[in-house]
Amino acid sequence: MYADVYNVEPYNGDPFFSVPTYINRLHAAFEMPGFSVLTGRAEDGTLLGYVHGVNLDPERAWWTSLGAARPAEAVQAAEAGEVFWLRELMTLPAYQNQGIGRRLHDLMVQARPEPWTALTCIVDNEPARSAYPRWGYEVIGRIKHAEESPVYDAMILRP
């Protein structure tokens, strides 16, 4: 699924978005507290999309790099273990623009015990970049996950 979703410009050919690099990030997520995944499938079992995330570590580099841009109540929530970090949300290209991503998002966020949700979205990733604010997220700053990564908007969804 990842290879199909990211096999488009500007991602294809970028080592940060290679399948092996993604597999390493995914395997690292397996070990993080609160890891969970939700898949969306057609009636015949075809995988349409998926979402995964973890409990946000309040010392996570991208989160702390935002400094004072983080609302004080979000910082407190993270320190109390009350922020879910939505790490990936994707839908296969053939099934995009059908509400599947939104449904997966909503089901995952509703199932989580954390009242807050945080995510990062590549600034050039349309239509996702425009969808999140419509879903209630607010941009609180810009970050890079790694030196070689693109720029991301960091967003939060308040309870």
11-45 pLDDT per residue, tens: 888 888 999 999 999 999 999 999 999 999 999 99
Q: What is the mean pLDDT of residues 129-152?
A: 94
- In the prediction, which pLDDT does 11 show? 85
Q: Where are the beta strands (DSSP E) in the chain?
A: 36-41, 47-55, 83-91, 116-122, 138-143, 152-157
State the DSSP code for 15: G
State the DSSP code for 113: S
Pairing of β 116-122 and β 47-55: unpaired
Q: With beta carbons less than 8 A apart as the criterion, state whether 50 and 122 touch.
A: no
- In the prediction, which pLDDT does 4 show? 92
At residue 10, does pLDDT exceed 80? no
For 41-96, how does the pLDDT look when each residue is reduced to its tens digit (9 = 90+)? 999 999 999 999 999 999 999 999 999 999 999 999 999 999 999 999 999 999 99
CA 111 to CA 1: how far, in whole Å? 23
At residue 125, does pLDDT exceed 90? no
- In the prediction, which pLDDT does 127 show? 86
Domain ranges of the chain: 34-157
Name which of 159, 154, 134 is nearest 61 in CA terms.
154
- In the prediction, which pLDDT does 99 show? 96
Q: Which of 4-13, 54-63, 146-155 has the highest mean pLDDT?
A: 54-63
At residue 8, does pLDDT exceed 90? no
Q: What is the mean pLDDT of residues 132-159?
A: 95
At residue 133, does pLDDT exceed 80? yes
Fold for domain 34-157?
Answer: Aminopeptidase (3.40.630)
